[in-house]
Structure 1
Amino acid sequence: MLQALLIVIMQFVIVPLTTLRTIFVVKGEIRTASILGGLEALIYVISLGIIFSDLSNYLNMIAYAVGYAGGVVLGGYVERKLAIGYRTYNVSLLEKDLELCEMLRAEGFGVTLFEGEGRDGNKRFRLDIVVKRNREKELMKILDEKAPRAFIVAYEPTSFKGGYLVKSMKKAVKLRTFPITKQKP
């Protein structure tokens, strides 16, 4: 019974490590991914060693499966909490909204405005907004309030280059942390 509990605990650790390792590989953080991969392999060998030492012990096998399933849930939770990386939101509007663009920029989001044509030849406006994943809820709250009828599509860019995105995001976060109040003349 103690072995089964140990196996469950090891799976609760190994599967979130696998999730994180995969994320770090995708994000290009190879050194971090390799460290996690080594730790993952060590835990994997130990847990399978326990199972293979007595193949008649079905409780250990069930513990492995239960621990693995629970580890997947835990790994998903950890990934959402860490929110590593960026997302790009395409926000389609029926009307040009420069006020919304400026508000989003002031909050530190990277925003580009495009004008296009809809199916019936009507003008449409699209905002491309780049956001750190840990600020997605904040962005969606603003969009829900200021553009409730917008059509929104999100995707995760694998890389980007150039622009002032990172610099402007850092600047906006500093301004929000330490607000500057204007003096009346």
Structure 2
Amino acid sequence: MSIAVVYYSGYGHTKRVAENVALGAGADLIAIDDKGDITESDWQRLSEAKGIILGAPTYMGSVPWQFKKFADATSKVWFTRGWQDKIFAGFSNSASLNGDKQVSLQYLQTLASQHGGIWVSLGLLPANTLAATREDINNLGGSVGLLVQSPSDASADNIATGDLETAVKFGERVAFITGRFN
């Protein structure tokens, strides 16, 4: 069973999240470059994958243009229904705790649905008690997909461990669900 994490990362934060998601899922990483492109061999890997995890930072309330260019390029696959019934999931990262990441997740979920995909939610209860900290699993309270916060003045090494551990668990969930369907 193969799973691919296809993502765009402008400053390295989303790449770090993608690496943790891939670790949990046992997935291949496919980076969208700064021109919004992936290689022909990457397209082939996506074609062969049983599951696709989509990842992008949230810029100005949505995914960046590089990810949108990739998404538009998937119309060739859409036309042939090449990703019909694949397992899909998604994640987004932004500098703010909320940062309109939900809009980006809805964009990713809609893209997956247009392809006839089956969406996997985060599947984790939120850490929403008075004692909860940023080091807890799902401390941002996501449900549709994985939410991650990276302070704008911090390197990718400063992402909260709770977010990174949630990323690994999310990858594990996607792998589990993909295995059940295949």
Question: Where on the TM-score scale, by shorter chain, does this alignment land: which range?
Answer: under 0.3
Higher relative contact order (CA 8 A, sep 6+): 2
Say which structure is richer in helix.
1
TM-score normalised per structure 1: 0.24
TM-score normalised per structure 2: 0.25
Q: Which protein shows a greater Rg?
A: 1
